[in-house]
């Protein structure tokens, strides 16, 4: 019994039993719209309107202290300035290539790790209580802010950090490995640390819904463990994998804090470019970059949903 439904039902006149089916359908449809309205309004006010404003502002002119509402495509021209040069790619192409590289690496690591953890918790742990407990253990890193989780890597990986110190102490190396910190390695490490849980949760969720009798049936039919995994579990876990992948990829695409802290601010990210422009009050330029980023992420998600029809699978 929802509040939204109440007034609508009260309005319901003592309709004659002969009311046409069409009228009933119409009313039901109107009711559905009313029920969806609050969410739609919130969505419009806090998502669509700001998004449209960003789009509009990205076409405005600006100077040091104001944005001028007159149409220009200059902001987009600036974003793609010099991008046709293949030998020495422009800032935007370089930045996107670097971000895509982190996306691919993070995805390629979080997927098997996340899948393995979820598989273990879902299929190897029998008791529901232990399952729950282990599941909560996975979320422990989230009890502190992600900045703290990142920064805690620094004393570990630094030139005079724990890892280098131990390796030198063991006599395995005689000079500290510089590439541990402020490098692609440290960025990917932090991303995997921060984002694996976003892979675990949806995959675990999909696995928990798999009917155990299917696995039994496969077993009875003589399938080996790997065959069951590959032909039964993986196909049925696809929606979880897709959702997890979308999470991880969008998080990495939009990130600039992790790349900034772990990359020693030396590695570009789209988010960082936007942030630098915002702090210089170049809002229309930042808006143009944001729109391009949004377009890029949407393309990737469309591509992923092409591979897996989420609606059908759910």
Residues near another protein (CB under 8 A) are 1, 64-66, 78, 81, 90-91, 94-95, 98, 154-155, 158-161, 178, 181-182, 260, 264-268, 272-273, 276-277, 279-282, 285
Q: Which residue, 229 or 276, is less far from another protein as judged by CB?
A: 276
- How many angstroms separate the Cα of 27 from the Cα of each of 4, 18, 153, 246? 14, 15, 59, 37
Q: Least distance (Å) from another protein to the CB of residue 107?
A: 22
Q: Least distance (Å) from another protein to the CB of residue 278?
A: 8
Beta bridge partners of 71: 60
Q: Which residue, 5 or 23, is less far from another protein as judged by CB?
A: 5
Q: Which residue, 101 or 219, is less far from another protein as judged by CB?
A: 101
**How far apart are the C-alpha atoms of 113 and 138, rounded to whole Å?**
12
3-state DSSP call for residue 95?
helix
**How is residue 160 written in tokens?**
């005079």
Of 214, 209, 190, residue with least CA distance to 118: 209
Q: Least distance (Å) from another protein to the CB of residue 302?
A: 26
Q: Which residue, 67 or 111, is less far from another protein as judged by CB?
A: 67
With tokens 């422990």, the residue in question is: 140
Q: Which residue, 161 or 254, is less far from another protein as judged by CB?
A: 161
Q: Least distance (Å) from another protein to the CB of residue 299?
A: 21
Q: Where are the beta strands (DSSP E) in the chain?
A: 60-62, 67-71
Q: Which residue, 37 or 280, is less far from another protein as judged by CB?
A: 280
Of 258, 265, 251, residue with least CA distance to 147: 258
Q: Least distance (Å) from another protein to the CB of residue 173?
A: 16
Q: Any idea what DSSP says for residue 67?
A: E
Q: Least distance (Å) from another protein to the CB of residue 292?
A: 14
**How far apart are the C-alpha atoms of 236 and 124, rounded to whole Å?**
17
**How far apart are the C-alpha atoms of 268 and 272, rounded to whole Å?**
7
């Amino acid at each position: 019994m929802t509040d939204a439904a109440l007034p609508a039902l009260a309005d319901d006149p003592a309709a004659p039993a002969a009311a046409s089916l069409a009228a009933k359908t119409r009313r039901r449809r109107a009711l559905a719209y009313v029920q969806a309205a609050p969410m739609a309004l919130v969505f419009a006010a806090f998502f669509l309107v700001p998004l449209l404003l960003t789009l509009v502002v990205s076409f405005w002119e600006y100077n040091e202290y104001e944005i001028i509402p007159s149409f220009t495509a200059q902001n987009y021209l600036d974003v793609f300035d010099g991008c046709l040069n293949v030998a020495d790619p422009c800032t935007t192409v370089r930045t996107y290539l670097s971000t895509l590289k982190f996306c691919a690496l993070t995805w390629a690591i979080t997927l098997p790790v996340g899948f393995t953890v979820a598989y273990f918790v879902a299929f190897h742990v029998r008791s529901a209580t232990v399952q729950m407990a282990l599941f909560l253990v996975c979320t422990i890193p989230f009890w502190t802010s992600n900045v703290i989780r990142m920064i805690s890597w620094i004393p570990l990986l630094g030139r005079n950090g724990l890892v280098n110190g131990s390796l030198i102490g063991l006599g395995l190396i005689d000079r500290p490995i510089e590439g541990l910190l402020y490098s692609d390695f440290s960025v990917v490490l932090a991303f995997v640390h921060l984002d694996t849980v976003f892979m675990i949760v949806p995959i675990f969720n999909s696995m928990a819904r798999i009917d155990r009798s299917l696995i039994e049936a496969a077993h009875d039919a003589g399938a080996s463990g790997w065959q069951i995994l590959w032909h039964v579990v993986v196909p049925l876990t696809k929606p979880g994998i897709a959702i997890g992948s979308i999470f991880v990829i969008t998080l990495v695409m939009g990130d600039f804090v992790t790349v900034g802290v772990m990359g020693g601010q030396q590695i570009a990210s789209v988010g960082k470019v936007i942030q630098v422009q915002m702090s210089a009050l170049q809002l229309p330029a930042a808006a143009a970059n944001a729109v391009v980023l949004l377009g890029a992420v949407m393309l990737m998600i469309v591509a992923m949903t092409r591979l897996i029809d989420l609606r059908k699978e759910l």
